[in-house]
Structures are given as structure tokens and as C-alpha cells.
Structure 1
Amino acid sequence: MRNVAKTTTLENKFPLLAVENNCILSKDADITACFELRLPELFTVASAEYEAIHSAWHKAIKTLPDFTVIHKQDWYIKESYTPNLAIEDQSFLSKSYQRHFNERPFLNHYCYLFLTKTTKERMRMQSNFSSLCKGSLIPKEIRNKETIHRFMEAVAQFERIVNDSGFITLKRLTEDDIIGTDEKQGLLEQYLTLSREAGTPMQDIALGTEEVRIGNKRLSLHTLSDTDDLPGTVSADTRFEKLSTDRSDCRLSFAAPVGLLLNCNHIYNQYLFLDNSEANLQKFEKSARNMHSLARYSRANQINKEWIEKYLNEAHSFGLSSVRAHFNIMAWSDDAAELKQLKNDCGSALALMECKPRHNTTDVATLYWAGIPGNAGDFPAEESFYTFIEPALCFFTEETNYHNSPSPFGIKMADRLTGKPIHLDISDLPMKRGIITNRNKFILGPSGSGKSFFTNHMVRQYYEQGAHVLLVDTGNSYQGLCELIKGKTKGEDGVYFTYTEDNPIAFNPFYTDDGVFDIEKRESIKTLILTLWKRDDEPPTRSEEVALSNAVSGYIERIKQEDIYPSFNGFYEYVKGDYRKVLEEKQVREKDFDIANFLNVLEPYYKGGEYDYLLNSDKQLDLLSKRFIVFEIDAIKDHKILFPIVTIIIMEVFINKMRRLKGIRKLILIEEAWKAIAKEGMAEYIKYLFKTVRKFFGEAIVVTQEVDDIIQSPIVKESIINNSDCKILLDQRKYMNKFDDIQAMLGLTDKEKGQVLSINMNNDASRLYKEVWIGLGGTHSAVYATEVSLEEYLAYTTEETEKMEVMQLAAELDGNVELAIKHIAMQRRDKVNQ
């Protein structure tokens, strides 16, 4: 039987001729400059910034010559997260995290811009003149080289204006990007297969009146090609109600519903046609006169005349350029039922923009064909409507997915919209780019907001990337993680100090692993003894300070010369014996330094005294080389004698690390303990720490849950907040009425306030996670999801029953916490699967 189907080869019909100098040349002598766009991240742009983006587009478009087509093409492709499980030395928790997100579906966004210089005749062609309708295409010669030269100059200006806006980045596509190489698909191949997967073969393209099919993928097309379909008003941005409150706004671009919020495979095409504006307006003047003369035959003519005159008045009053525009959503599926659902979803998305959803079935083939990169000159003129540049630009989508940080260092968070893991650097790259001037962090979150989860998740990843981590805790929040690290490193790491009556915290302030007593070590010893000797409201005299300094120096010299075992007992005996003689020889008066009083006050810490265990530990722990140390001080945080001593020792451990470990990242995280530290006159330590740590490749992190603490404490206000360029806030909705005070205290902008108050407002019920806001230097901020695997959850949990379950099972398994977590996680998954 003879084949009567109208088949032809793609080669015959293909409208493009070549790619030269990174521009696409069509057979009709159109020339197209191609760009890849990098847009701002979703939910991170404020209303004023949307206006600035809109203004940048407008200024850039005004530089382009007449008979130019601006074609912005946004691809939204469903993809799955592929973890990299081949990385060597991945920890048990890192592997479980990667497995948890394996094949997590998400919508990926790719954005392109094509600027096509065509002719007046081509701009007016209708669908019956499309290259699809021609028997064969004979390449035309570009006659006017000067026109092309001027166009390329305008394109360069366009690129500079958009890039200078600071919000959008245009990157010129190369020949390989457009055509492809042996290793990767080019843009043209992707469009003709509707696939971005490398190695996707070309398949039959059926461009019929009933359906348009690319291989097995059937297209569904919705168009905005008539002013009757448009909303009454448009704007650069719109309020996103799901993440807004009566006190805050979350803004998205006006066209966001047809962008990332439309969760299906689709392409959103946005066209602007720059005709000669003067010629357009003259045509409308003539049309208005005709309508007026025919007004008595039909009221519709009179109404149309009024509309045309309104358009002309706007153009002349404000100096606006008359342009044509067209927008369409091209969705596809290889499943008939899904295609029906897509049709409804696309219609609903347009309805959210207050547009009239028009499912186009007649021009699908020509619109698909005109959408080929570089073929905008083939666009059917009857599918466009007249407007001005500014309202047309409101239909541009202006946001994209969250970006991965290019830095090798960072933490893993999740995209709040899709749950895709994101690599996020909140320390090194922002420092390098000048966004922040220090790595310090201030974390604020009420009880139950997921604060401990986030901090566990962060410090674990810092530790795994080689950082030294010292934690000061008041609630066993890090016990599970510490025990896990201890088991994994066979006791080499994961040191957990806690105070109990049977096993109290004990130190030896005079011990150093290498026998070096630098200035910092000497100063910390003097501060410690001064704290034991004097009350907060009793400052030492100058002579007392000198006498104490000499005593410490004398004892250190004795240690070095005689190779004796250093301890507080030894120091006490030195002062009581040899140093007393030194003072007598110098004839130091009692009123200048009362040695009897000094020895009497320090006696409780000498052997036989009430606290003799505290400063005479015989466990010579080399904390300098330990990379994960937790001090749990809940039992002594209100103890007037023990707490300040323990605090000084902790600070001394970190300052020792800070100064001695060159080129190694170090981190101190102080939980609620900072409140007690601030009360006990230890404020100077915190001030010193926050101002100095940045010089030593370190970061100080303070965690708090009470809003009143930050509002009322001058220590926090002056030292911590002012010296923490990274601020991390968790769910603040219970403090919504107090939030103005927090906003003023932290110096948050209205945009940042809106982001913070949107936390956890629109969480996906199918996923378990809490959201967290991270702000860097007052300029970069976003909300991320802290989502972890079941294994990580069991390691981080602060729930007493769950923690006990892990620890009890670990005790039965010879202290193997990792094995205990694996067992419990397996049992829970089996239970869910049943």
C-alpha cells in the first residue's frame, strides 16, 4: 500500500543554517545572539528588587534596534537527585544522608534568552508563511552587513545593562552549547527531543492538526495571545499568600505561578516583538479615524475607537514604545491521563495570574516550531497582541531554584520548595566575596523549633571536613553525636565532659602537653587565680596584680628548671614557701599584697580542701589534638564557685587551640551557657573571643532561645550580635508580636523579616523537616530546610526516651552507638513498610 502520510525529513524543513561567532544564522538571514540566564533564588527577592530587575530589563530592551525579537525561554524539567556515594572516607551519617535523598524528585530550572534580528517583512508573517509550510528552504544572503554590526553592538550594550543590575547574570552561549559535542547535548538537540538527558536519540516529530508529538511526548499548549485573555492590572511582583502573614510579605514575580510553582515538565516561552513604534502608532491613528467614521453603524466601533485612543494617549503622554508580545506554556507527557492533568494544571496556573486560560489546539505546530532557539523570526504575527514594554515585562519569570555554592567547604541543607539537597557555604565563600567580615554565627530559636537539630547537623559536617569543634552545652544536646564520634575514632576523639558527684569535672591549669607557656597560657592562669581570689565587685589593686603575675611566672620558671610535676598544689606550696621569702626580701608591705589572705582564700582548692579535686587532675588530657570536645555544664551553671572556674578552663582550651593550630579551622559553640558566663563577669572573654577569633581561621557561635535575652543583655548586643555577620533564626512565630524588637536588635530589613516569619508556614506534610533562616552580612539571606535521614535523627535527637533507647542498645552492643542506630533505624523502617 502506498504511504500517503505527509512525511518529510528534518533536514529539509530545518529553518537554521549555521552557528557562526556564537550566533545562530537562519536560512531567512535572521541572526540570533544566545544567552544563558542566572536569575535570583526563589523567595529571596523583595518588592523593590523586583522593580529594579524590571527596570533593568526595560533599559536593556530600549537599546535594541527595531525588528528585533526578544525570546526568553524557561525550561522546567522534572529530575531526580543522584547522590555521590563514591566519595572516599564518607562517614556513616553522610552515607545515610545521601541514601535518604537518593532519587528525590525536584523541578530543575534552566533559563535562556535569544535576541533575534529579523526584517520588517518577517515580523508581519502569519502562520501560513511559516517555514513549515514551504516546500524547500533556500538560504538567503545577509545583504546589509552594517545592520548586523549595529545589532551586535546593541546586544553588547544589552548584556552590560542586565549584568550591571546585580540581580541577573547573562552568560553568552558558545557554539558547543548550542550545537553540542560528543559528550553533551546541545540546546537545539534538547529542544527537538524535549529532553536534557545526554544520549537521548532524535525521534519522529509529528506536527499535526490533532496533536503535536515529539517521539512519545504529546504537547499541551496554553497561550496568552489576545488582550481579552489578560488581567485588568499587572505588576512586577505579587504577594505569595502561603508564606505571608498580616505582619509580613513574601513576594514572587507576577509570572511565578507558571514557573517553579507549576510542578510538571514544561517550557514557558516569553516573546517581545520590537516593531517600529512610530509606524505602529500611525497605524492606530488611522484605525481610530476609521472606527470613528463607522461608529454610527455599530456601537462596537465607537468602543474600539475609545480603546485605541486610550492606547495612543498612554503612548504619547509617557513616551512609551508600542510593541507586540506573546506568552505560552508548553507542557508535555507520554501518558494520556497525565496529559489531561497537565492541561488542568497549566490552566489553573494562568488563572492564578488572573489570565483567561486558553488551550490552543490550532497553532501548536507553528508555535513549537517558532520556539526553536534562533527561529523566533518564524513566529506567526496573528498570535501576538499590542502592548507596551513595561506591562509586557511583568510576564517574565524572575526567579530560579536555590543554587549550590561553588565552594568545596560547606554544609548540606535542603531546598524548601522541593526538598533537593543544596551545598551551602556560610563561612568561606562569603568571606572571600566580602559579604561578611567574620565567620561568627548567632543562632536564635525557641524551644522545639529544631535548633539543636540544626546545630548538631552543622557541627557534625564541620567536624567531618577537618574542623576542631568545642561545644559548651547545658542539656546533653550533643551527647549522641559525641558518643558516635568517640566509638568511630576508638576514643581518639569525641571527649565528653560532664559534672556528676561521683565524677566531677577536674582540670590541671598548669599542664601543657609540650611544656610551652606562652602569653595566652600565662594570662589564663592569672585570670583563673584572680577569679578564685577576688569577687566580681572587688577589683585587684595594681600591686596585687603585679604580685600575682610574679608568683605565676616564678612557679612556671620552677617547673621548667626542676622538671617537677605541675599542679595547683605545687603552685600553692611555692607561694607559701619560696615566694613568701621573695616578698619578704623585697619588703612588700601587707597592704600592697596580703599573702596570708591570698593563701587563706585559695586553701579550699589545695589538697584536703573542699574543692581540692578541681584543679589537681592527674588525667593529662591533650585537648589540643582532640577535634570534638563537649563540655556539658548544666549541673554547675548556677554554682558560684565551680562555674566561673570551669568556664575559664573551657575558654583557655579554645584559645589555646585558636593560637596554636595554624591553618586549621576551629569552632566554639556556646549554648545557653553564655547567659551564665555573662553574669559571672566572664563577659570580657566573650568580647575578646568574638573580636579575635576571625584572625585565627576560627568561628564563635552562640545559641539562645529567649528573645528577652538578646533584647536585654548589653553583652550580647554589643559583642555577639555586632561581631556575628551570619545570623541564623528558627521559627519565630510565637514571638510575632515582639518581632519588631528583634528586627531592630538584629538590624533585619523588611525583606528579611518577611523571610523569617514565613518559616514553617507552608511545609510539605509528606516530608519531616524544620525550616531555618540564614542571613549573611545583611545582604544575602534565604530560608532552607533542615531535613535529615533517620540515622542522623537518632544521632541528634534530644528526646529523652529516644536517646535512652539508643544508649541502652549501644551498652548491650559493647558501646557501639553506630550499630545501635543502624538497628533502631532498620526496625522503624520495617514497621513503616508493614
Structure 2
Amino acid sequence: MTAIEKIMPISTVEHNAIVSAQGDITIAYEASLPEIFTLSDRDYEAYHQTLIKAIKLLPVNSIFHKQDWFTETSYKANFETEDNSFLSRSSERFFNERPYLDHRCYIFLTKKPKDRKLSSSVYSNILRKSIVPQQTVNPVLFNDFLDSAGQFERILKDSGFITLRRLTDEELAGTGNRPGIIEKYCFLQKEGEKTIRDVHIKDELRIGEAHCKLFTLSDAEDLPALCGSRINYDKYSTDRTKFSIGFASPLGQLLPCNHVYNQYVFIEDAPKTLKRLEAKKLRLQSLSSYSRENAISRDATNDFLNEAIGQQRLPVKAHFNVLAWSEDEAEIKDLKNKVSSALAQMDATPKEETDGAPQIWWSGLPGNQADFPMNDTFDTFLEQASCFLNLETNYRSSISPFGIRFGDRLSGRPVHTDISDEPIKLGYTTNRNKFIIGPSGSGKSFFTNHMVRSYYEQGTHVVLVDVGHSYKGLCDLVGGYYFTYSEKDPIKFNPFYLTDGDVLDTEKKESIKTLLLALWKKDDEPFTRSEYVALSNALTLYYQHLDAHSEIFPCFNSFYDYLMEHYMQVLENGKVKEKDFDIGNFLYVLNPYYKGGEYDYLLNATENLDLLNERFIVFELDAVKDHPILFPVVTIIIMEVFISKMRKLKGIRKMILLEEAWKAIAKEGMAEYLKYLFKTVRKFFGEAIVVTQEIEDIISSPIVKQAIVNNSDCKILLDQSKYQNKFDAIQELLGLTDKEKAQVLSMNKANDPKRKYKEVFISLGGQYSKVYRTEVSLEEYLAYTTEESEKMKVQQYSEKYGSIQKGIAVLASELRNQNS
């Protein structure tokens, strides 16, 4: 056995660069790539051209080496957070140990000395015990190389697709406590691992317990006939849309095993390369009469030369390989099938390296790229070589502390996503309003429950207006106010009650006056200035009367008593005529709301009074939406509640979510209010959200079309498969791009059959869009469910065990035991 330091080809690591024993200089970057499934066809083409421009800037005798690490790992739950709620803890337990592929991408730029001898399968530094450097490093040459690398870095960063971070000496060579990238590659260490392993290269490439297989694309005959910046991903494509992924994505994020994808581009002296190929063409010309293969090779070489000169293409040498490994011997056979299948998607033929594998693996060591065996490369142009570069990474979490937990589309790994604040900071959106559309059964209520709960747990004041009891379970769980109507327990409010810290300001008076006028006058019946003044005076004097008589409870009954017992005398003393304010008519019309009247419960509530400070309020309008008296009153109170929160709760996030109820509200003269709300709520750290089922609802309502759609920068769509043949109308109406259309129609087409979830599409200002999983724990599912039988069961268990939380916990435990 040989100690690895004896054959280590690295001379030193300094100035954030690796110097090899042969005098090669390598600088390294960690690259952050775009997320998979988020780029359009045009994006792929622009991205591809950017890479070509950047690599062309590298000097002669340099190597571009991109190394993508994909390691199997699992999600580690955080149970230590103090503010974790019951549902948050259940979510952490549910996702704990969820397997996924972690991705790290490194780019190495190597400059070889001018007179360096080329390596081959016969001559490589892994076979030699000691190497003497051929030249010392010239600082001028090093600075020239750094200048080229700086231009390379600037072009990639300016494109907006890739961000690069130069690796430091410590990150390259490691420290006493933390392995560097060199050590990580030698021993195939996962992120955070420190284990040093034995390396076996005699009969097979084995690193510790990991059996390694190396598959190469090193011969032009094994390559696909055509290549491009992108390919169609059939799993997500439909008859009407083609879903794009990067050309090399099957060897990246879509290859489900531990692997490193190495991509090499060798930039040589172009005139020398063309001269060599001209000589090869002449040789083949003289031999063409002896064999048809020689004639074909001559024509191919001639075509290559014509294209290089005619289209000003840069000839390069390239090599691509996949190093896959597993510690389970039973999985080794499966590795070949997985890699072969991935290469077949690219129309390429895999070649498994055996004897040459250790050499190719060793030359992938950071800093040793110049020792790559050149007989394992092929001649091509930079444009074609760039097609084989992996372009994408997995989903990233938002940096913002505020957000919602979604699932990565490929693995379901939890992803923290901010769709409110971060998009405004990044310039994608100008407001936080959201427009949600999804037909029945698409998981719409489920998604909105999940979003609302996430916002509530992060301090948001939530007002929900619903017509289907979708939020009853969640409201009970968080202990919010639930306003609904039934004969036994009719809906009750008290707009006259002032909570602690609240005052009778102009806004409060205006909202009560609006309510009283709505109860007194018909929609088409105007009120006079004198009537308005009389009501305003009545309210002012009533609250002064309450201050003087603290035993009187503020409500409509006591206001009515005050009008009869005191205010009539005030009007008489002020000589107010009946035509200016007919108090008799006012009292008669409002009598049904006074004690003993038909609606005496409506404005005289004695509980659930503090609507300003209550953080979770649900107005369930199913039973009153067609009621001519109750519905207008309820809508006015809802609006008053939210406007009061909007203006008085400074620095606190507010959300109003209107389910299908918005249709009824828009009819009841509240259209202007909706317009006002959607235009101004952003100024008060708030967001208005409208949820609808049918696209026809939007088209048929000009208010929605103008006020809601145009002022909602975040558009959220759930399963639209039933509309795929008439999706063009939806696309035009919502202003979706072709990329977004492909994303929407790809939802739920290739869901993991072993897991229960629905997918959701989110577009932020038309600039950034993604499809996520809405996958939740069993406890969350039971809190959100809208299935009648499941809701009944949750209710029974809640009554039996004393609270909805205990009921859900026991029921979830029983269901898990049944399924196990």
C-alpha cells in the first residue's frame, strides 16, 4: 500500500490557487446554478451562449473543468425551535430523514505551462512515485491568467444565470477541523464528513466501502447525432406543450444515485489543432482508396475543418464522465442501468471504464486536471461541448425568514419559500396581493389552509371570508373567532363596542354611520346632508352618554334606547324639522334590530367583541349569502373590521382572503371597495387574496378582471388539466408566458405514487415561476381536510379527548397504526 501523500500531484496551495508539481495553476469557484424546471427555451439558449462567451476568454493551454457533486442525503428536522406549534412539530417529524440528492457545483480553471508534456493512458503521475517540477511559476503569467479568469467570472455573473464564489486556501486544502475540496474528492466525503478512507485501484476503483463505477463520453462515436442547449422532458410534456430541461440534466439532478459529473473542455492552440487535422485529412485522403472507412473519416474531418473556418468556431478537446458509487454491493448492478438510461435520454452510448478508471478519476482531483489522459478526449467545437454541461441545481430555500413550507418537486424535500416580501425586494412584484384559481378537487382549499396557517404562525392578522366551512378545523385549532349563521346560533356582531385602547375616531364613526344608513335606506335611496349630520351628532352624544354612565353596555339596543329617551329631546331643542331628519321613520325601520325584533341578535353581541386584536377571524357566509337583510350588514362589518386592522395595526402583517364569497360581495355594491382594497392594501403591510374555481368567473366580472387580476402580482394556479384544450384563453387573460403555460399543464403529471400530495404553480410578476409540492403531515391533513366524513371524525375525536389538538393527535396516531 502506498501513502497518498507520496504520489499527491499537488505542490502547494497559496494565494487561493492550487499549484501542481508540474507547475499547473488551478483556481476554483463554487457555482450557484439556476433551479431545475424554472428556465424557458429562450433562457436555455441565452445561458448556453453565455457559457460559450465565457470559456472563449480563457487562454490557450487552459482547462475548463466543471464538477457537479450529487450526494444522497436526508433532511434533518429541527425540533429545538421554541415557537414550534403543534402542526409545525408534526411537519418536522413527517419530513425528518426525507431522502434527496444534495448538489454542489465547482468550476476549476487550470493553466498549463507552455512546454508541459501531454498525459496519456501510458504516462500519468498516478504511476510515478516522484515528480520534479519542470518550471517555476512566473508571477506575470499568473496575473495574466487571473485577468482572464476575472473576465470569465464577470461574464457569467452578468448573465444572471450563475453566481460564482472563489474558493479560499482553507476551502481548497482544508483545515484541522474541516476537509477541503481536494480531500473531499479523494475520499468521496459528503458535506460535513471528515472520514479518511483507503483507496483501492487494483481490481476495481473502491474508496473505503464505496464501490465506484466510471462511465465516460470520450469517443465521438458514442455521442448523440444532435445536441442542443435543451431537451424535452416527456414526463411533464403534454400534446400541447413541450417541457424543457437542460440537455445534460439526465446526468445531473435526474440521475437518482450518488455521483459526480465531470465535464472537461481543453482549450488548445486553434491554428495548431487545425494544422494537425489538415495533416490527418491528407493522410486519410491517401488511404481512402484502400477502405471506405478512411473515405468517410476523410469527409468528416473535411466537414469539421470547413465548419471551423467558415463559421469561426473554436475547436476544443472535450471529455465527460460520471463517477457513480454505492456502499451496497447489491446496488452496483443497478448503477449501470441508471446511468445507461440517463445517457439514452440524451441519445448517447455509455462506456464503462475499467482499466483506465483510476487514471481518469485521479485527473479529476482538483489541481490535477492537466494530467488528464488526452487519448480519452475527442475533438469538437466549443458550441457542442457546452451542450453537455450541467446547467441546473435543485430547489433553494428563500433567504427571507418569512415564508411557507413547500416541497421540492423532485424529492419532496422541504423548501422554505417567501412569496410575499422577497419578491418585492428582488423587484419581481410591486404588491403582495394574490390571485388563486383551481377547480374543485384540485387541492385549492388545502393549499389556502396551509398558506393561511403558515402566515398566522408568523404573526399575521388573518381575516377569512368563506362559503364552504373550509377553515373550521384550522380556526378551532388556533382558537380564532368563527362567525357563522344557524337557527340555533345566529351570526352576532357588535360594531358599537370599543376594545381596550380603541377610540371613537373619525374612521370608527364613519363605519357605524355607513352601517346605519345601509340598514335605513334602500340601495337606490339617497340620504341628505342633514340626515348624515344628525346621525353623526347622535353617535357623538351617545358615546358621551356612555362615558357618563359606565354601567350601560355599548350595543345597538342601548343606542336605540338613547335615541328614544334622549336624542329626540336634543332634536326638539335644536328645532330640527322632520323633513331634515325623520327620527320616527329611522326608529321604525331599525326596530327589527332592537330587542324583541326579528334580527335583535345581529348587532348586540356580548362575546367575540375584540375583532381588532383577534388574529384569526373567519366569516362563514354560506347560510346568509342570499339573505337580503343579513348579507349587506355582514359584508359592511367585514370590510370595517379589515380596514380598521389595516389602518390601526402599524407594522403588523395583515391578510384578507376572499373565497368564492367575493362573487356575492361584488354584486352587493361592494365592487368599489374591492377595487380600493386591492390598490391600497400594499401601503399598509397587507395583502388581499381572492380564490376562485372557474376562469369564467373572472371573464364575466369586469371588476375582477380590472381590479383583482391587474393588482395581483402573485398568481397561483392549481391543477388545470381539465382546461388544457382551452388554456390559451386563460393564458391570455392572466398574461402567462409559454414557459408558465408549460409549467401549469405539467402539474401532477408525474407525481410520486408512494406519496399523497398535489402540486401548485406560483408566478411572481411574470418574471419568476415554479411548481411546488403541497405535501403535509397527517396531522396537518386532518386540520385542513374538507371531506365531510373526515371532518366529522375529527369533530368526534375532539369532543371525546377535550380539544381539537388532542383529537387530531390521537386520530393521526390510530390511522398511522392501521396503515403500518
Normalised by the shorter chain, which TM-score bucket? over 0.9
Q: CA deviation at 1:421?
A: 0.8
- 1:591 Cα deviation (Å)? 5.7
Instruction: Map Cα deviations across residues 183-231 of structure 1 (whole Å, 9 max, x no partner).
Output: 43221111111121534322221122x3111112121111111111111
Map of 1:371 onto structure 2: 364
Structure 2 residue aligned with 1:4:
none
For 1:811 and 1:828, how far apart are their aligned partners in 2? Answer: 18
Map 1:234-633 to 2 at 5 A.
234-486=227-479, 494-514=480-500, 516-541=503-528, 544-560=531-547, 564-575=552-563, 594-619=582-607, 621-633=609-621
**Superposition pairs for residues 159-308 of structure 1, below 5 Å?**
159-208=153-202, 210-308=203-301
Q: Could you report, residue by residue, the CA deviation over 1:316-362 in whole angstroms, capped at 9, with x for unpaired residues?
A: 11111111111011101223321111012111111110001211213
Q: Distance in 2 between matches of 1:477 and 1:718?
A: 27
TM-score (norm 1): 0.94
The answer for the alignment partner of 1:491 in structure 2 is none
- 2:807 alignment partner AA: A
Matched residue of 2:554: which SS? coil
Aligned to 1:36: 30
Gaps spanning 5+ residues in structure 2: where?
A: none
Sort the Cα spacing of 1:309 and 1:542 in 2 relative to 1 into closer, same or farther, 3 A.
farther
Alignment of 1:682-701 (within 5 A): 682-701=670-689
Aligned amino acid, residue 185 of structure 2: Y
Q: CA deviation at 1:394?
A: 0.5
The aligned counterpart of 1:3 is none
Cα contact 2:118–2:371 (8 A) shared by 1: no
My pick for the range that moved more, 615-624 or 740-749, is 615-624
| Partner amino acid, structure 2, of 1:267 | V
Cα distance, 1:317–1:123 mapped onto 2, change above 3 Å: farther
User: C-alpha displacement at 1:580, in angstroms?
Assistant: 5.4
> Normalized against structure 2, the TM-score is what?
0.96
Tell me, in whole angstroms, the C-alpha distance in 1 between the residues paired with 2:695 and 2:618: 25
Map 1:803-822 → 2, pairs under 5 A? 803-814=791-802, 816-822=803-809
Is 1:826–2:819 an aligned residue pair? no
Could you tell which deviates more after superposition, 589-598 or 450-459?
Answer: 589-598
Residue type of the alignment partner of 1:280: T
The 2-side partners of 1:62 and 1:287 are apart by: 25
CA contact (8 A) 1:813 1:820 kept: yes
- Secondary structure of the 1:127 match is coil
Q: How far 1:560 moved relative to its partner?
A: 4.6
Superposed CA RMSD in Å reads 2.0
SS of the residue 2:789 aligns to: helix
CA distance in 2, matches of 1:37, 1:346: 24
CA displacement 1:526-570 (0-9 Å, x = unmatched) = 221222233334444555545544444454454456655433234
Q: Relative to 1, partners in 2 of residues 1:159 and 1:620: Cα closer, same or farther, differing over 3 Å?
A: closer
* Whole-angstrom CA distance in 2 between matches of 1:130 and 1:308: 29
Gaps of 5+ in 1: 1-6, 487-493
Alpha-carbon deviations, 1:37-70, whole Å to 9, x = none?
1111111111100111111111111111111100
CA distance in 2, matches of 1:179, 1:468: 51
**Per-residue deviation, residues 582-617 of structure 1 (Å, max 9, x unmatched):** 666777666665555444433322333322221122
**Does residue 766 of the first structure (1) align with residue 754 of the second (2)?**
yes
Matching residue's letter, 1:761: K
Deviations 1:144-172 (A, max 9, x none): 43222111001001001001101111111
**Does residue 118 of structure 2 align to residue 118 of structure 1?**
no
- Give CA deviations for 1:227-255 in whole Å, capped at 9, x if unaligned: 11111111100111110112222110001
CA separation of 1:739/1:598 partners in 2, compared to 1, >3 Å: closer, same or farther?
farther
- Tell me if structure 2 keeps the 8 A contact 1:185–1:196: no
Q: Is the partner of 2:105 in helix, strand or coil?
A: strand
1:309 to 1:123, Cα distance in 2 relative to 1, 3 A = farther
Do the aligned residues in 1 keep the contact of 2:62 with 2:109 (CA within 8 Å)?
yes
**Are the aligned partners of 2:655 and 2:688 in contact in 1 as well (CA < 8 Å)?**
yes
Tell me, what secondary structure is at the counterpart of 2:731? helix
| Cα pair 1:67 1:123 within 8 Å, conserved | no
Q: Is the 8 A contact 2:560 2:594 kept in 1?
A: yes
Percentage identity across aligned positions?
57
Mark the CA change 1:620 to 1:757 in structure 2 (over 3 Å): closer, same or farther.
closer
2:193 and 2:258 mapped to 1: Cα distance?
A: 19
Q: Determine if contact 1:34/1:112 at 8 Å carries over to the other structure.
A: yes
Is the Cα–Cα contact under 8 Å of residues 644 and 682 in structure 1 kept in the other structure? no
The CA distance in 2 between the partners of 1:823 and 1:619, in whole Å, is 31
What's the CA shift for 1:133?
Answer: 1.9
Rounded to whole Å, the distance in 1 between the matches of 2:348 and 2:56 is: 27
Aligned residues of 1:511 and 1:620 also touching (Cα < 8 A): no
Q: Quick one: distance in 2 between partners of 1:550 and 1:397?
A: 73
Distance 1:421 1:458, change over 3 A: same
Assess if the C-alpha contact under 8 Å between 1:509 and 1:525 holds in 2: yes
In the alignment, what sits opposite 2:707?
719
Q: 2:781 is matched with which residue? A: 793
How many residues of Structure 1 are paired with residues of Structure 2 in the alignment?
Answer: 818
CA–CA separation in structure 2 for the residues paired with 1:735 and 1:580: 62
CA distance in 1, matches of 2:4, 2:258: 24
Contact 2:497/2:609 (8 A) holds in 1: no
